[in-house]
Every structure is written in C-alpha cells, then in structure tokens.
Chain A
C-alpha cells in the first residue's frame, strides 16, 4: 500500500487524551475546537456495561466530500492519500462542515477558517510520525508510512480506503460512526437532485410562459 495510514485499536486505548493534547499543541489549534477528539461510549447493559473510547479525527477519505464541496480550492487530496487543507486558501464558508458525513471539519471563530486534522504533514513529510501517534502511550494509535503494511485485521474503513481506520470490538453505530461507511455525500446523486429541481421547474415555467401568451390572445 502506497498510502499513509493511522490505525486505531479500540482494545488498547486507555482514555488518557494524550493524542488530543499532542495534536492541539502541534497544530496551533485554539481551545474552542478539537482537531482530535477522544469519545467515550457505554457498551452493554448494567451490570455488564463497559466504557470504551475511540480517538477520532479526519478520516482522510479516498473520495472526500469536503474536497468535492470546497468552492475555493482550499482542500485537495495528496497522492499519498492525505486530504490537505490549505488554510491560506480557506474562505470560511462552512460548506465542508455541513457536507462531511463524519462531521469532522470545525469552524474556528478565532482563526476565521475551517480546521481539521492535517495528518501532521509538517512532520510526516520529514519522516516523523503524526503528533497523536507519537504521544500515544499505550500503542492504541499506530502510523503506517507508504510501503508498510497495516495489520491484517478487520477494520472500519479499510475496505473503503479511508486513511484513519478503526479496529473495533463492537458495531460502528455504537461508536457514533456511520454504518455502512458513508460515501461522498456531495457527489452522491447530485445530478438527480439538479434534475429533480429542473424538471418540475421547467414544466411550471413553460406553462407560465404559454399562459402569458394565451391570455393575450383571449383579451384580443
């Protein structure tokens, strides 16, 4: 595999939030947003309930809705699979925030632009690991550079070629992840939506156009 990958193992996560902190510091993120979020969910029923956590950030989709939605060319997909957000191009319209099926992009009022996980390109391009992976004390997060094969385990998003994949003990829905993995929401059926507006719209407009003429004849 020539793409970069972050692999999360639900079993190893100890809910220490080190990845969140490392990410915030590395990426100059203001406190009102979280580029990486550790989310905890209760699984099972009392008294056998168990709290499990996942560390979520951008999934770096192969067919990313945010890249499709951006009207300013601020988002693009690098050849190594990373969806890069160029903040100097971002106009802060918020369309990627609305279109991402995983609700990843966040609007930063302090920085006037969208913010999301950058895959720490400022680190990985120099051979280092992303900040979240290097800060993880339990090995729940692992980074695979191009050419390195990830473990041969079933993982959420592996078949869909997401670049942040999850080995989970339960169903994805229990972790607030869309199941099945969401496709590109923007391009998915967009042509039909244009047609669904155009066909009835044209029909009514043509009727009105004819009406504006036939009445005239009647008046005469």
Chain B
C-alpha cells in the first residue's frame, strides 16, 4: 500500500494540458498583431497546442488502472465532479485546438490530409480568428480545471482555494514559453524576426502574468496561516528536500528567474532567453510534481501506511 495513487502520468497530464491551454492563448493573442515574427510564433504555438493536449490526454489514459475503459467517462456527465467536467472540457478544447491548428498549418502539409485538407475554409482568416476567440474561455477553463481537480480533494496540501489561480497562471506562463520556444525551434532562419517582435511582446506580457503567478504562489502559502487551517502540511512542503525543490525549482526557476528577465532593462541575448524560458517550463513541471507527491505522502503518513504495511 505504499504505492502512489497518482504518480508521474498525472503530473505530466496536469502540466501538458495546461501548457496546451497556454499555448492556444498565446497563438490567439499573438495572431492579433501584425508582423512576420508574430505569424510565425502564432503558427508554431497553434500547432503545439493540440500536440501537447494530446500527449496530456494519453498520459491521463495511461494513468488509469483500467486503460481500456477510459471511454466510460464519455458516457456520463457528472456536474459535481471536476474530473468529469475536465474530461468534457478537454474534449471540447482538443477539438477546438485541432481545428485551430488546421487553419495555421502550412498549405503543402494541410493538403496532404485526406478529405478535410482540401476544404477552402482553411484560408478564411476571419473564421480562424472567431474560432480562436471562442477557444480562449475554453482554454482558460482547462487550465483552471487542473487546479480545481486537486483543490476539491481531501488531501490537506491540495485543499486550497488559491490552487486554481496558481495552476491557471502557471499554465498560461508555461504555454507562452513553450509556444515561443517552438517557434524558435521550427523556424531557425527567422530568429531575428522572432526576437524583435513576439519576444518583446512576450516579455511585456510576462510582466503582468508572472506577477500574478508569483502573487498566487504567495497567497497559496499564506492560505495555510488562515484561522482554522492546519499548517503542518505546508511545513513539510516548504522545508527539507521538497522545500529545496519548491523554493529553488518551482518558485526560483519557474517564476523569479523569468521575472528578472522580463523586468531587466538590458537587451537579452538569444541563448539566455532560451535558457530562461526552459527554466520556466521546468519550474512549472516541478511545481506540479512536488505538490502531487508531497500531498500524497502526507496522507500516507497520516494513515500509517508508510511505516506499517498490514
């Protein structure tokens, strides 16, 4: 009984689902701007979103003990269950992200897709933008659902009303970073375009987004000091080895280091920008990793499952 009920697949699902939501938002926002770099960033980010959510969903199915029964969740709607709501949100979001990516796919790649690849509607920019705008609230709800999913459980470390906002901002920040990194990766010749336009916009967006992210992280910690809330769960998160990962990894790499980049007055080079964005991604992953594992360890310790195997 010392097995974790939720392990790495759930961590990856939470990370990649909210990353996809963030990448989708980045694509929609950046596509509103004019300029060669902006359309490159929007294209890479729009294509990244369905790939990322697909990987997240496959991890979610991989985590099930009865993997072939995953479709049972598609036969009911349980409005009280964040997981059931999340399944439907993810389904809707996946469909929207796939169609949105089809609009952005280069013509020669899209025309190879049978039947739907030849439709003329993919060249309609207005339709694409309407789909993008309609997808924004869905993407936002997907990133919030990952927080509500944990927040509605009985695990003391997760039972925190700030978690939805924390995961939402983390998802947006990681999605923006991943979208931009994908653009750099897949259009190597256009590096200057990307660094001149979208990167500066990304930095100005990060000034607000990362501040909100940091603020929600601080509120998450402070919540445990509210009257009537047990503080022990927090202390085992923020001290020891898990504390090192929380402070240095989730907060240091994931929030503070990118904030330094965003607020710095000097111009940032290509290599350093990539490194900082990669650090932000790692920080977002570590945040979910440490919360998922430490939360469950505390419950196991409470039930004496770690020391006493019946």
Contacts and interface: CB of A to CB of B under 8 A. Distances in A.
B32 A216 contact: yes
Given A89-B72, A97-B5, A187-B80, A193 B208 contact: no
Contacts, number: 183
B interface majority secondary structure? helix
A65 interface: yes
A25 interface: no
Q: Report the contact-size class of chain A (Cβ under 8 Å from the partner).
A: 35 or more
Contacts of B25: 205, 208
B69 A98 contact: no
Contacts of A74: 72
A180 to B, nearest CB: 12
Interface residues of B, number: 65
A202 interface: yes
Interface string A95-122: 1011111010011110011000000000
B81 A109 contact: no
Contacts of B164: 193-194, 196-198
20 contacts: A70-B78, A72-B76, A90-B69, A91-B64, A91-B65, A92-B64, A92-B66, A95-B83, A101-B154, A103-B299, A107-B3, A108-B65, A113-B65, A186-B81, A186-B152, A189-B161, A197-B144, A200-B168, A202-B137, A205-B136
Q: Which 6 A-B pairs have the closest CB atoms?
A: A92-B65, A197-B164, A197-B144, A71-B84, A68-B80, A98-B153
Interface of B: 1, 3, 5-6, 25, 29-30, 32-34, 63-66, 69-70, 72-73, 75-76, 78, 80-84, 86-87, 136-137, 140-141, 143-144, 147-149, 151-155, 158-159, 161-165, 167-169, 172, 201, 204-205, 208-209, 212, 216, 296, 299, 302-303, 310
Interface of A: 32-34, 37, 65, 68-74, 89-95, 97-101, 103, 106-109, 112-113, 176, 182, 185-187, 189-190, 192-194, 196-198, 200-202, 204-205, 207-209, 211-213, 215-216, 219
